Amino acid sequence: MLIAVIIINVILSLVFFFVAWRLRKLKQTMNRVTQSILNADRVTYDVLHGTPAALAKGELGTRNLRTRYQQVELQLLRLRQIVQLLSLGQAAWLRRSILKRRPRKQKLSKRL
C-alpha cells in the first residue's frame, strides 16, 4: 500500500511538474507577445502623435490660400475691367483719328 501511495505521488508530481513547465512556457510567450504589442503601440504613437498638429497646420494653410486666391481673383477682375476701359478708349481714339484724317466732302450749293 505504501508503494502505491508513493507511485501515485510521483505520478502526480510529474504531471504537476509538466503543467508548471507548460505554464512557464506560456508565460514567456505571453511576455513576448505583450512586448511586441507595446512596441507596436509605442511606434504607432510616435508616428501618429504629430498628425493633429500637421492637419491643423495644413488646414490653416489651405484657408490662407483660399483667402489669397479670392483676393487675386478680385484683382484680376479689376484688371480686366481696366483693360476693357483702355481698349474702349483706344477704339474711340482710333475712330476719332480716322475721322479727322478723312477729307470732308464739300456740299454743293443749291443755287445754280
Interval 27-53: pLDDT, tens: 999 999 999 999 999 999 998 998 898
Residue 99 to residues 63, 71, 93, 94, 106, Cα–Cα distance (Å): 54, 42, 10, 9, 15
At 85, list the grid cell. Answer: 476701359
Coil vs helix vs strand at 108:
coil
Tell me the whole-structure pTM to 2 decimals. 0.49
Annotated domain spans of the chain:
10-49
